[in-house]
Amino acid sequence: MHVMKRFLMLFVLSALLAVGCGGAAGEDNEVFVATVEGEINNRAANYVERVISEAEEADASAVAIELDTPGGALTATESIIETISGASETPVVVYVPRGGAAISAGTFIVMASDVAAMAPGTRLGAASPVTAFGSDIPGTMGEKVTNDSVALITGLAETHGRNEEWAESAVREAASENAEDALDMEIVEYIEPDLESALAAADGESLESKGITLDVADAALVQQNETFRERFGIPLWTVVLPSVLGVLAVVGIAIAAVRTRRWKIATGREGMVGEVGEVRRTVSGSKKGSVFVHGELWTAVAEDKESPPMEPGDEVEIAAFRRSYIVVRRHEG
């Protein structure tokens, strides 16, 4: 059992190190940081929603989303937008880090932010709706989805004072811009080399959509990593429990093997010493006979070569075992 406990401790520790633990909350003037990388899906939406919710509960100064995505599902994107817009007392900064991009769904998220910033050399745009396989959506349905997406992104641009004309072209024409052009075209507000610099640049900005003045110049950045479920789409117990059961099964098999071995030692040949059987063929001197014991017929010899013959029907006691026969003596019971 000591081995099992050690295994479980190592497993849980490894899982926590792989996923990471959210930073501690409760300090004054904090910015909760969520890192969204890869596809925008329901797991990403749940992650952003949790971080913003915890930031609101902790009365954090803001939430910063470091965003690097090639796009993703429209429904998940809409969920993130709703969460950002619904955080009425918590400013949300979206920052595209070095080497990253906010393509397709990412452009909508940038447009939904209270403050939009990019690192030099990054890009955004190409927000035309496509199927899950990357092809255009045909016919009337394609027109409906496109028009709805245009309405969404231009509405976000208007709310946050950004370039509505370009926002529409990002959807209808898949327009895409690098960070420098995005700043010149009033698509984003800042180009900064890192998140800390972006927050410092935005400090004191008045966010009309939420009626808040950004106060993040000296804020502590509190990284909020994904939970196991948010990263892998399944709760941690679905991985831990089978492992625990597997360990218990191995331990159980080992214990059963030990017990079986001990049982065999206790109940095998050695365990029959002292048992009483019945002579079926005369056992005398060095002459072998046969004895019936434990439902089996055994070849037998006399323990005392000088003892009187033991005849059929006599009760005898097993004194010892040899390679292929038993040694018996007359039972005096």
Q: Which two tokens stand for residue 167?
A: 């926002």
Closest among 31, 9, 21 to 90, alpha carbons compared: 31
Q: Which two tokens stand for residue 88?
A: 């009425």
Closest among 14, 40, 1 to 239, alpha carbons compared: 14
| Contact present, 316 and 298 (Cβ < 8 Å) | no
Q: Which two tokens stand for residue 58?
A: 């902790």
Closest among 297, 295, 286, 306 to 324, alpha carbons compared: 297
| Contact present, 129 and 146 (Cβ < 8 Å) | yes
pLDDT per position as a tens digit, 226-262: 988 888 876 665 656 676 777 777 777 877 766 666 5
What does the domain layout of the chain look like in residue ranges? Answer: 20-237, 272-330
Closest among 186, 214, 183, 231 to 92, alpha carbons compared: 214
Which CATH number is associated with domain 20-237? 3.90.226.10
Q: Which two tokens stand for residue 127?
A: 């927000």
Half-sphere exposure of 287 (CA within 13 A, CB side): 12
DSSP letter at 293 equals E
Is the CA virtual torsion 180, 186, 191, 195 positive or negative? negative
Q: How far apart are CA 292 and CA 276, in angstroms?
A: 9
Q: How far apart are CA 163 and CA 38, in angstroms?
A: 26
pLDDT per position as a tens digit, 36-65: 999 999 999 999 999 999 999 999 999 999
| Contact present, 44 and 232 (Cβ < 8 Å) | no
Residue 105: other Cβ atoms inside 10 A: 26
Closest among 125, 54, 52, 110 to 77, alpha carbons compared: 110
Q: How far apart are CA 316 and CA 127, in angstroms?
A: 96
Q: What is the pLDDT of residue 25?
A: 42
Tens-binned pLDDT, residue by residue, of the chain (333 aa): 554 555 455 555 555 544 444 444 444 699 999 999 999 999 999 999 999 999 999 999 999 999 999 999 999 999 999 999 999 999 999 999 999 999 999 999 999 999 999 999 999 999 999 988 778 889 999 999 999 999 999 999 999 999 999 999 999 999 999 999 999 999 999 999 999 999 999 999 999 889 999 999 889 999 999 988 888 876 665 656 676 777 777 777 877 766 666 555 445 566 678 889 999 999 988 788 999 987 889 899 998 888 899 999 999 999 888 877 889 999 987
Q: Which CATH architecture has domain 272-330?
A: Beta Barrel (2.40)
- Predicted TM-score (pTM) of the model is 0.66
